[in-house]
Amino acid sequence: MKKENAIYVENLTKMFGDFTAVNNISFEVGKGEVFGFLGANGAGKTTAMKMLIGILKPTSGHAQVASFDVASQADEVKKSIGYMSQRFSLYNDLTIKENITFFGGIYGLKKSVIKEKTQELIDELGLKDEANKLVKSLPLGWKQKVAFSVSLLHNPRIIFLDEPTGGVDPITRRQFWEMIYREAHKGKTIFVTTHYMDEAEYCDRVSIMVEGKIEALDTPKNLKTQYKVDSMNQVFLKLARNIE
Ligand SMILES: Nc1ncnc2c1ncn2[C@@H]1O[C@H](COP(=O)(O)OP(=O)(O)OP(=O)(O)O)[C@@H](O)[C@H]1O
Best mutation site among 12, 14, 15, 16 for ligand 1 pocket (most ligand atoms within 8 Å of CB): 16
Nearest-CA residue for atom 16 of ligand 1 = 44
Nearest-CA residue for atom 31 of ligand 1 = 42
The domain tally of the chain equals: 1
CATH code for the domain in which residue 63 is found: 3.40.50.300
Residue 121 lies in a domain: no
Residue 95 lies in a domain: no
Taking only the tens place, the pLDDT of each residue in 137-156 is 988 888 898 899 999 988 99
Q: Ligand 1 within 6 A of 16 CB? A: yes
Is the model's pLDDT at 244 over the cut of 60? no
Taking only the tens place, the pLDDT of each residue in 88-102 is 678 999 999 999 999
DSSP secondary structure, 29-81, as one string: E-TT-EEEEEESTTSSHHHHHHHHTTSS--SEEEEEETTEETTT-HHHHHHHE
Query: What range does the domain containing 230 cover?
Result: 7-89+156-243
pLDDT given for residue 1 in this prediction: 42
Best mutation site among 45, 55, 85, 191 for ligand 1 pocket (most ligand atoms within 8 Å of CB): 45
Nearest-CA residue for atom 3 of ligand 1 = 16
Is the model's pLDDT at 9 over the cut of 90? yes
Residue 238 lies in a domain: yes
Furthest-apart CA atoms within the chain: distance in Å: 55
Residue 15 vs residue 87, higher pLDDT: 15
Residue 11 lies in a domain: yes
Residue 162 lies in a domain: yes
- Is the whole-model pTM more than 0.90? yes
Residue 213 lies in a domain: yes
Q: Which of 19-23, 58-62, 182-186 has the lowest mean pLDDT?
A: 182-186
**Nearest atom (ligand 1) to Cα of 46:** 22
Residue 46 lies in a domain: yes
Nearest-CA residue for atom 17 of ligand 1 = 46
Is-contact 240 213, C-beta < 8 A? no
Nearest-CA residue for atom 4 of ligand 1 = 16
Residue 139 lies in a domain: no
ipTM of the prediction: 0.95
